[in-house]
Amino acid sequence: MKFTARQIADFLQGQVEGNPDVEVSSISKIEKGEPGTLSFLANPVYTKYIYDTKASVVIVNEDFQPEHPVPATLVRVKDAYSAFASLLDMYQQAKGRKTGISDKAAIDPSSRIGKEVYIGEFAVIGKNVVIGDRTQIYPNTVIGDNCRIGNDTCIYAGVKLYEDTVIGNECTLHAGVVLGSDGFGFAPQDDKNYKKVPQIGNVVLEDRVEIGANTTIDRATFGSTLIRRGVKLDNHIQIAHNVEIGENTVIAAQTGISGSTKIGRYCMIGGQAGFAGHLTIADEVKVSAQAGVGKNIKEKGAFVEGSPSFPIRDFKRSYIHFRKLDSIVKRIDELEKKLKDLKPSDD
């Protein structure tokens, strides 16, 4: 499919600067642009490439001011990154979605399957499962008994849903995701052994949740481990039993959240962050990568860093001294020696 710069600008509600009739048929990185492709510039680090890119059309922020002539046609928009994401979504939708149920899939007769559903080879659908319209289930996925899946959800290959899992509309689960495995509950006994605490709850995902590859979310001991609408989780994240994550929170890879912690809405959590159990995190909190959060964060919009974490301004001021710690210790040793030499002798 080909699109003109004018059509792209109309779709994005932007303005064309250059040839409005130039056509593009594919997408490229700005530093590797080719004629007939569309690219974008959102990160200032890549500005140098716009002056010699061979891409025919480049999406830029409306306040972009070039320092040299730009050979490409520009489409100016309020937010180039978001605009480009919208175009990619349109491109993906244009590719079409899979439909049809493979005769190699194992589907229990008690399950209810919606319209225009795709179920791939060797998928297993348990008893009393409900699958909504236009949902896609890729090969080798296992969906346990009594699971409910909404409309327009995409479940990629090798996902495992334990029994009673609930998934909303327009969710995406990438390959290897496991939802509903047992929470880590073991009671220590007098004989130094551990008695397993039965995990009888479930996992609930609300609408428009996306979960990255190989992320795992444990079922609740009782009640639900709850992922609110719009949450985006990266790859290789571990979420323990009875955790609740507020709407539109985003969490980067390798983060671990211990049991019964409640994370607020619109939070942003960096990679490899760790949370102790039974914490409450306020709305709009930002947590830096590798931070260790061991206590409640009550301040809305707080930004924490370090392990144990504390406010980022304090961390940055302290870090200046961390780097100089060795020299500071040497200076203190020298001062102590001088003070000792200044002390009058007993004689």
> Is the bond leading into 44 cis (omega within 30 degrees of zero)?
no
Instruction: Confirm whether 174 is a catalytic residue.
Output: no
> How far are the Cα atoms of 147, 213, 232 from residue 168, in angstroms, in the given order?
11, 18, 14
C-alpha 294/C-alpha 43 separation (Å) is 34
3-state secondary structure the chain: CCEEHHHHHHHHCCEEECCCCCEECEECCHHHCCCCEEEEECCHHHHHHHHCCCCCEEEEECCCCCCCCCCCEEEEECCHHHHHHHHHHHHHHHCCCCCEECCCCEECCCCEECCCCEECCCCEECCCCEECCCCEECCCCEECCCCEECCCCEECCCCEECCCCEECCCCEECCCCEEEECCCCEEECCCCCEEECCCCCEEEECCCCEECCCCEEECCCCCEEEECCCCEECCCCEECCCCEECCCCEECCCCEECCCCEECCCCEECCCCEECCCCEECCCCEECCCCEECCCECCCCCEEECCCCEEHHHHHHHHHHHHCHHHHHHHHHHHHHHHHHHCCCCC
Q: Which candidate in 236, 241, 278, 321 is catalytic?
A: 241
Those residues whose C-beta lies under 8 Å from the C-beta of residue 331, and which sit 6 or more positions away, are: none
Which residues are known to be catalytic? Answer: 241
